[in-house]
Amino acid sequence: MANRFDDQDMRKRVSLYFDKALSKEDERAFLSDKDQDPHFVQLFNKEKTARDFIKNQVKRPSVSPDLIQNIRNICR
Amino acid sequence: MFEKKFCLLSDAPKKTGLEVFESELLPHIDALKTFAFHLSYDDDDANDLVQETYMKAHRFIDKYQEGTNAKAWLFKILKNAYINEYRKKSKRPRRVDFEDIVSYHDSDDSKVPGYLDLREEIFENMMGDEVTIAINALPMDFRTVVLLCDVEGFTYEEISKIIDVPIGTVRSRLFRARNMLKDKLANYANNLGYKDKRGRAKKEEEE
């Protein structure tokens, strides 16, 4: 049970870290704790992989030069 | 030397509205287009939304403080424009009643061992289309927070201001939206032949 709690705590801290929701002090503590625990590092790397994948693979349709020019024309 | 530099900075001419528009607002057009596309599902509608956003930003440029968070300001304008436009056209965004799905998504997957193994396999073998499809299948309130946080990198506070809900609501929507996203991506993984280890792990633990 204690291990599972720690695991849950790690996951929560990893999520808060990537959400940029930790204070500077908490972030320092998080990075220090993470580097001391291989399982923590594993959780961190997997979450990073997942987040990077979503961010990089989501469709980003291009902006046409015409749209930019239309906006410039309207806003002059 | 310090005084000389200070004088030079304070003598720097203030940017005109057009200069601010070009240097601080227009550079965010790609991010705005992505957000608009995933709200409207349509490239033309997304272009219209982006154009309307910049028109409004230009109209209210005096309300924008140079050097502040232009991206968040623009996203807020776009989000409001989307809500207003699609209410007018009766294309009501599929809103979710948050409380209705609390019980469905209350389970915390992080309690179950083996969960992350499944996710790693998903991301190693999945094409990018599944991510877009999964995100676009989310109800609008949840899709919005995922787009703002996981795709665009806004903080909870910024998201709270963009969509005008308390920070606590942002956090809980993100938690539930990510659970929904995991479920959808797990379905794709199952279709690819990967077994959901969460059930097996739990069963082994009970035995």
pTM listed for this prediction: 0.78
**Residue that finishes a domain, picked among B23, B58, B88:** B88
- CATH for B197: 1.10.10.10
pLDDT in 10s for each residue of chain B, 207 residues: 544 444 455 556 777 778 888 889 999 999 999 999 999 999 999 999 999 999 999 989 888 888 889 999 999 999 999 998 876 765 555 554 444 344 334 344 444 333 333 455 556 666 668 888 899 999 999 999 999 999 999 999 999 999 999 999 999 999 999 989 888 887 877 777 665 555 444 455 555
Whether residue B6 is contained in a domain is answered as: no
Chains A, B: CB pairs < 8 Å = 99
* Predicted local distance difference test score (pLDDT) of residue B91: 56
Q: Are residues B77 and B112 in the same domain?
A: no
Whether residue B2 is contained in a domain is answered as: no
Structure tokens at B102: 């609390």
- CATH for B31: 1.10.1740.10
CA–CA distance, B108 with B176 (Å, rounded to integer): 9
**Which residue range forms the structural domain that includes residue A37?**
2-74
Q: In terms of Cα–Cα distance, which of B141, B198, B135 is closest to A53?
A: B135
**Residue that finishes a domain, picked among B88, B112, B140:** B88
What value does the mean pLDDT of chain A take?
88
- ipTM confidence score: 0.87
Which amino acid appears at position B186 of this protein?
A: A
**Which residue range forms the structural domain that includes residue B110?**
98-206
Residue A11 near residue B110 (C-beta atoms within 8 A): yes
* Predicted local distance difference test score (pLDDT) of residue A54: 87
* Over residues A42-65, mean pLDDT: 90
CA B130 and chain centroid, separation: 17
CA–CA distance, B13 with B192 (Å, rounded to integer): 60
Query: Is B43 close to A61, i.e. CB distance below 8 A?
Result: yes
Q: Are residues B126 and B63 in the same domain?
A: no
What's the total number of domains in chain A?
A: 1
Whether residue B79 is contained in a domain is answered as: yes
CA–CA distance, A45 with B46 (Å, rounded to integer): 34
Query: Is B34 close to A51, i.e. CB distance below 8 A?
Result: no
Question: pLDDT tens-digit profile of B23-34?
Answer: 899 999 999 999
Q: Are residues B59 and B111 in the same domain?
A: no
Q: Are residues B59 and B131 in the same domain?
A: no
* Predicted local distance difference test score (pLDDT) of residue B204: 53
Whether residue B75 is contained in a domain is answered as: yes
Chain B residues whose beta carbon lies within 8 Å of the beta carbon of residue A62: 30, 33
Residue B110 near residue A33 (C-beta atoms within 8 A): no
Query: Is A63 close to B116, i.e. CB distance below 8 A?
Result: no
What's the total number of domains in chain B?
A: 2
